[in-house]
Chain A
């Protein structure tokens, strides 16, 4: 696509997103939009961590920590939503910092297992420990809506713009980091960390950095989730969500920044857009992941390139045969 084509496309996208609340009126689809945007945020945050070659399978835990933190602070301490949102992100970041320092020095496999275990521990704690605090299996209801300058978020529109801002910020931040020197170091680490270390890069610092930043974003997404749905429980934060977010990233394409966005959009819409997936959701998602890993390793994002290839090869063939005839 030409540069002007891309620019026009971007402008149209911005316009559509800007006036979306007036285009989409049906409650079901509005809900779908917000869910998609939350998933994009989660996918983006996991993608950043994956950039350093670390496979975190416990990502949902960081989301849960953000959700419960914000919930408890706003409900018990009467903090404003905005502080709660920030606090949720910071809490997740803090937990990630501690865990990161302890575990990121381990070989990737052990790190993944630890994240897996910790996610379950977190879920069990929220589910069964201190029910007075965390609400036990029934969870916490009546989570207050955000309000700004006295105006309460009572409908779709303010929530939509809020999450849209969050998503845009997330993408911008991740893109900025990825394109910077830090981003180059991330990808160096993921390809050959012992090599990176031998040229003096403190790989621990960068792995932790990515992990903490990604966790902060997950925490923010979790906080938003809590105040949007007004109800959270440990059931919302199962291991499956961690796998789903991973699927968004891998199916979308883990090599490019637009990949997680594509994956989150495509799969959220596929799963809920037609109301019919229900029990088939894990089957479809699992199958999508398997198929992508086997046949389209760079995800949906690489599809246009892949489709162009046979066309390119055909033109090359044609050129060669024409040249031969001369």
Chain B
């Protein structure tokens, strides 16, 4: 592989890594507060993509406004799902996981009925490409990197430095003690779910100009998110950064060198291996 090809591969890998990071960060946030894996997360990503498809692609609204709208709408949906469905099952984790599976197919089915199963696409909101060295990236692809990075950084800042973020960590570490400080666990978990969902929606919206859109795009994405959080450590946002970079870059390299199927298999292989050998991932808890 020439150095130009390598640079291009790494650039693509970085872009995908940032997308995975966005989706996985949301998933990790939800996991750390609720202690369950939300299988419906991929569908929130998919719905976020559809909101942008309609707002920007069909109704001509400004792309960034559409993204924002998607984040708000899907964030709200996530908060509602948590407040009225998941929270009712309280600490019954197994039931909550099963619930998320049910929601997964419910949302996928509803989207199929509402939007149709055909391949949809939008034209790029930006014209032109960006080149540097041997690397060529369409502008909409390039933009994913700083936008994702910003959102994840904001999430990080929220968790580490704000009162609300501390409240989230408190609920994650000891919900009853959090209660005794006056924190409302139901509000915090709804908020966390909402934020996690809006990040997934953002990823979906960013991807709409890149690939074909169907109601089934959530499935593959959630698999990748699982690999990331397994690699990085289930509840750790830092781990998500590391995990997604590893996955994105490795996947891109394998795809260029061998092929997409092998890359996907490799990703799953990594997931299985990590879970078997070091389930805590690279960065453990928190």
A222-274 residues with Cβ-Cβ distance < 8 A to B are 239-240, 243, 246-247, 250
| Interface 0/1 of B262-278, CB less than 8 Å to A | 00110011011001100
Q: When A250-B98, A290-B106 are in contact, do A114 and B275 touch as well, CB less than 8 Å?
A: yes
Q: Pick the interface stretch among B2-10, B64-72, B107-115, B169-177.
A: B107-115
B230: interface (CB < 8 Å): yes
Chain A residue contacts of B230, Cβ below 8 A: 113
Whether, in the assembled complex, B257 has its beta carbon less than 8 Å from a beta carbon of chain A, the answer is: no
15 sample A-B contacts, Cβ–Cβ < 8 Å, listed by A number: A57-B101, A112-B97, A114-B272, A121-B265, A121-B268, A243-B104, A246-B101, A247-B102, A279-B109, A279-B113, A280-B113, A282-B112, A284-B109, A290-B102, A290-B103
Listed stretches B88-96, B182-190, B195-203; interface member: B88-96
- Which residues of the partner chain A approach B101 to less than 8 Å between Cβ atoms? 57, 243, 246, 289
- Is A193 in the interface zone, CB < 8 Å from B? no
Quick check: A282 and B105 within 8 Å, CB to CB?
Answer: yes
B89 nearest in chain A by CB position:
A293
Chain-B contact segment, one of A68-76, A103-111, A151-159: A103-111
Q: What size tier do the contact residues of chain B reach?
A: 35 or more
Assuming A110-B279, A290-B103, what are 8 further A-B pairs, CB within 8 angstroms?
A: A117-B268, A117-B271, A118-B272, A129-B261, A243-B102, A280-B113, A289-B101, A290-B99
How far is it, in angstroms, between the C-alpha of A315 and the C-alpha of B103 when the chains are bound?
39
Return chain A residues, CB-CB under 8 Å to B37.
109, 112-113
Q: How far is the CB of B89 from chain A (nearest CB, A)?
A: 7
Q: CA A246 – CA B268 in complex, angstroms?
A: 22
Contacts of A120 in B (CB 8 A): 223, 268
Return A272 CB to nearest CB of chain B, in Å. Answer: 15
| B-contact bits for A88-121, CB 8 A (1 contact / 0 none) | 0000000000000011001111101110111011
Nearest chain A CB to B279's CB is how many angstroms away? 5
Asked if residues A289 and B102 are in contact (CB atoms below 8 Å), the reply is yes
Q: How far apart are the CA atoms of A291 and B261 in the complex, in Å?
A: 38
Instruction: Flag whether A18 is at the interface (Cβ < 8 A).
Output: no
In the complex, what residue of chain B is closest to A125 when comparing beta carbons? B265
Chain A to chain B: the 10 pairs with minimum beta-carbon distance, closest first: A286-B106, A282-B109, A289-B102, A283-B109, A282-B105, A286-B105, A128-B261, A286-B102, A117-B271, A110-B279
Residues from chain A with a CB closer than 8 A to the CB of B158 are none
Pick the most buried of A108, A124, A280, A283: most chain B CB atoms within 10 A of its CB: A283
Can you name the residue of chain B whose Cβ is closest to the Cβ of A297? B95
| Nearest B residue (CB) for A105 | B276
Q: Are A117 and B109 in contact (CB under 8 A)?
A: no
Is the pair A289, B99 in contact by a Cβ cutoff of 8 Å? yes
Decide if the interface of chain A is mainly helix, strand, loop or mixed: helix
Partner of A113, one of B93, B261, B275: B275
* Docked complex Cα distance between A129 and B89 (Å): 41
CB-CB under 8 A from B50, the residues of chain A are none
Q: Mark B114-149, 1 if CB is under 8 A from A, else 0.
A: 000100000000000000000000000000000000
Contact in complex: A116, B226 (CB < 8 Å) = yes
Check: B219 CB closer than 8 A to any chain A CB.
Answer: yes
- Assuming the contacts A239-B219, A240-B105, A283-B109, asked whether A113 and B95 have C-beta atoms less than 8 A apart, the reply is no
- Measured CB to CB, the closest approach of chain A to B251, in angstroms, equals 14
**CB nearest neighbor in A for B96:** A293
B85, CB-defined interface residue at 8 Å: yes
- Among B37, B93, B112, B279, residue most surrounded by chain A Cβ atoms (within 10 Å): B279
A53 contact set on B, CB distance < 8 A: 94
Nearest B-chain residue to A127, judged by Cβ: B261
The residues of A that contact B99 with a CB separation of less than 8 Å are 289-290, 293
Q: Name A190's closest neighbour in chain B (CB-CB).
A: B94
**In the complex, A281 has a CB within 8 A of chain B:** yes
Enumerate chain A residues within 8 angstroms of B265, measured Cβ to Cβ.
121, 124-125
Interface contact B105-A103, CB-CB below 8 Å: no
Q: Are B106 and A283 in contact (CB under 8 A)?
A: yes
Is the CB of A294 closer than 8 A to any CB of chain B?
yes
User: Which B residues lie within 8 Å of A250 (CB)?
Assistant: 98
Q: In the bound complex, what is the Cα–Cα distance between A120 and B110 (angstroms)?
A: 23
A55 within 8 A of B: yes
Q: In the complex, how many angstroms separate the beta carbon of B285 from the nearest chain A beta carbon?
A: 13
- Report Cα–Cα, A118/B261, bound state, in Å: 15
B contact residues around A294 at 8 Å (CB): 85, 88-89
The residues of A that contact B102 with a CB separation of less than 8 Å are: 243, 247, 285-290, 293
Given contacts A109-B37, A113-B37, A297-B95, contact A282 B108 (CB under 8 A): yes
Interfacial chain B residues near A283, Cβ < 8 Å: 105-106, 109-110, 113
Q: Which of B89, B109, B264 contacts A281 (CB 8 A)?
A: B109
- CB neighbours (8 Å) of A121 from chain B are 265, 268-269, 272
Q: Which of B36, B105, B112, B275 has the most CB of A within 10 A?
A: B105
Q: Are A103 and B276 in contact (CB under 8 A)?
A: yes
- Min Cβ gap A227→B in Å is 28
Q: Are B94 and A113 touching (Cβ within 8 A)?
A: no
CB pair B275–A103 under 8 Å, yes or no, is yes
**Nearest chain B CB to A17 CB, angstrom units:** 31
Would you give the shortest CB distance from A293 to chain B, in whole angstroms?
5
> How many Å lie between the Cα of A318 and that of B110 in the bound state?
47
